[in-house]
A and B are shown apart, each in its own frame.
Chain A
Amino acid sequence: MRLKTLLTAFAACAVALPGAALAQDPTTGEPQIVVIDQAELRPFPIAIVGFTGQYGDDISNVIRGNLRRSGFFDPLNPAGFTERPGLGARPTFPAWTGIGAQAVLYGGVTPRADGRVDVGFRLYDTYRECQLVSYQFTATAEQWRRIAHKISDVVYQRMTGESGFFDTRVIYVAESGTQLEKLSRLAIVDQDGYNPVFLTQGDEVIMSPRFSTSNPDEVTYVALGRDYSRIYLYNLSTGRRESLGQFDGQVLAPRYSNDGSKLAFSIIRGGNTDVYTIDLNTRELRRLTTDPGIDTSPSFSPDNSMIAFTSDRSGSARIYVMRADGTGQRPISRGGGLYTAPSWSPRGDLIAFTKQQGGQFHIGVMGTDGSGERILSSSYFEEGPSWAPNGRYVMFARQTRGGDTRLWTVDLSGRVVAQAGYEGRGSDPAWSPLLDQPPADLGFNQGPDSCPT
């Protein structure tokens, strides 16, 4: 797959530029060696035709926005399209190669007898003249936005070979007011910035919201009042909100284990901050760190066997890892500067972090043994990386000097740094897992003209 090769090349390029990659010649289909670097790389031109039927054009618009923001696609301007294939028809390929489209997506919304709609679509490779995928989602017409995200995920997955991340939400701290009279509210929004909903009133300072990766309806966050700090467990679908309990000390930095059975967090006692875990069923509390330094911001590895955290026990803040029972604590970050806010990648191979060095703040990634550190984004102030469920992007908060804080994303190559879909003021973003399972085995043997790979 052409784009998959490019994605691999992005990661390689960030380490050693320029990188060489295998790609296919668009005219002959033969493999060729191309040399690319970050500056020369062009996003993949794709034609996304307005779907037919109710909300059809809206669905196509959402898909275009999603794919464009990913940085790997260049959705072409529909004004240049010369045909609108029906769902049952094949595209006229020269009509698309003629405008530079290397793939074309089209589809339609069809009412069903039960009042819902079928949203079917086809994706074709215009040069190889074969079908990459066809699929159909069924839902109520009002769920058109959600369907558009799921179609975006299918296209992304088929073109890149990696799972998508568009059918997700972001929980964050919405900010308003002035620097000295700041109002902070827990809020949730679709990953593309639509449907923001406030979940608290603003009478408490909200910090560190996190999704349960096993259930995107479960979140945890810290509420800081005048004289208390609480960790809440909050179910978004039932509205049930529960305090984790009273602890002897101030609590902060909660994160779910990936099976949802435990929470890792910190308690401050006598000025000393340590990492604990609590079993959410038995409420058994276990203390994992005991040194007099700051130990906080725990983050589980995907298999829950390890925890990354930040500690200044050596004199300055560094990233550490330990086993989930607290044994085997060791520093992994190797560079100078202050390393905080680690976040273990859902793929398991990388830890994202915030680094303060040289009067600037940086978002970076390193291997789980601290090797191969790469800075993805730098500015006056940025913090708190949170991974997209496919492990290819992180979202973080960036503050301009003397200005507001907003949500940004960067991809693993560091090439696609952009403000997130949500453009309002906010901080502490946390990316949800995919809201439900994507369809499996897409694109293979779906018709007589299915592409061979």
Chain B
Amino acid sequence: MKTTSLFRLTLVGASVLALAACSRPAQPEPGLPDGPVVTNPDTRGPTTGGGTVGGGGIPAAAGSVEDFAVNVGDRVYFDLDSYEIRRDAYPRLDAQAEWLRRYPNVMVRIEGNADERGTREYNLALGARRAESVRSYLIQRGIPATRIDVISFGKERPIAEGSTEEAWARNRNGRTAIVSGAPAR
């Protein structure tokens, strides 16, 4: 009887640790015995020793694709029917250029995107203008043209769901995608 209880407690402790480590939502671990787990208030289980265990994402490694996307920002947004770089996009594009200067082996592809309120072929052409605006600016900021490829996805690859002004505004963007050469993973 005692052996069985201790065995159960150990299992619970191990599984809680495992769950915390993976930061997955708590759910019964497969293979765990069913029924109530008997805990003895006088006996401290292995999981409760030093209080709660905190967790969170590890900061992106400098020079990684994730670093670029999270700390610099890979998308800039455009106004309706426009391919002019918006004033609020310049700091982000400057930061992109700065990052690309720091990691000179990185090759990028600028992806131009349009909202769903246009016809398919015309929107491809519209997206291409946005990609070109971003490309031109990065070149102007000192990034060699040979490091930058462009493609338009038109309205084919939206990032915001729904048919609202807000979704359309998010889907009108230029994304600087890292193709290769990022020094960290």
Contact = CB atoms under 8 A, between A and B. Distances in A.
Interface of A: 178-180, 182, 184, 205, 207-208, 224, 227-229, 250, 252-253, 266, 268, 270-273, 294, 296-297, 310, 317, 338, 340-341, 354, 356, 381, 383-384, 399, 401-402, 427-428
B182 interface: no
Contacts of A252: 121, 124-125
Contact of B122 (A270, A340, A428): A340
Given A178-B161, A273-B128, A340-B118, 14 more contacts: A179-B162, A182-B156, A184-B156, A208-B121, A224-B153, A270-B132, A271-B131, A272-B132, A294-B125, A297-B121, A317-B122, A381-B116, A384-B119, A427-B120
24 contacts: A179-B158, A179-B162, A180-B159, A207-B124, A207-B156, A208-B120, A227-B109, A227-B151, A227-B179, A229-B151, A271-B131, A271-B132, A271-B135, A273-B128, A296-B121, A338-B118, A341-B120, A341-B121, A356-B118, A356-B119, A381-B116, A384-B120, A401-B163, A427-B120
A64 B121 CA distance: 37
Interface of B: 83, 109, 116-122, 124-126, 128-129, 131-133, 135-136, 149-154, 156-159, 161-163, 179
Contacts of A273: 124-125, 128
Contacts, number: 95
B66 to A, nearest CB: 18
A266 B120 CA distance: 13
Q: Main SS of chain B's interface residues? A: mixed
A272 B126 CA distance: 9
A268 B121 contact: no
A350 to B, nearest CB: 19
Contact of B126 (A294, A402, A428): A294
B117 A356 contact: yes
Nearest to B162: A402
A401 B116 CA distance: 10
A91 to B, nearest CB: 50
B120 A294 contact: no
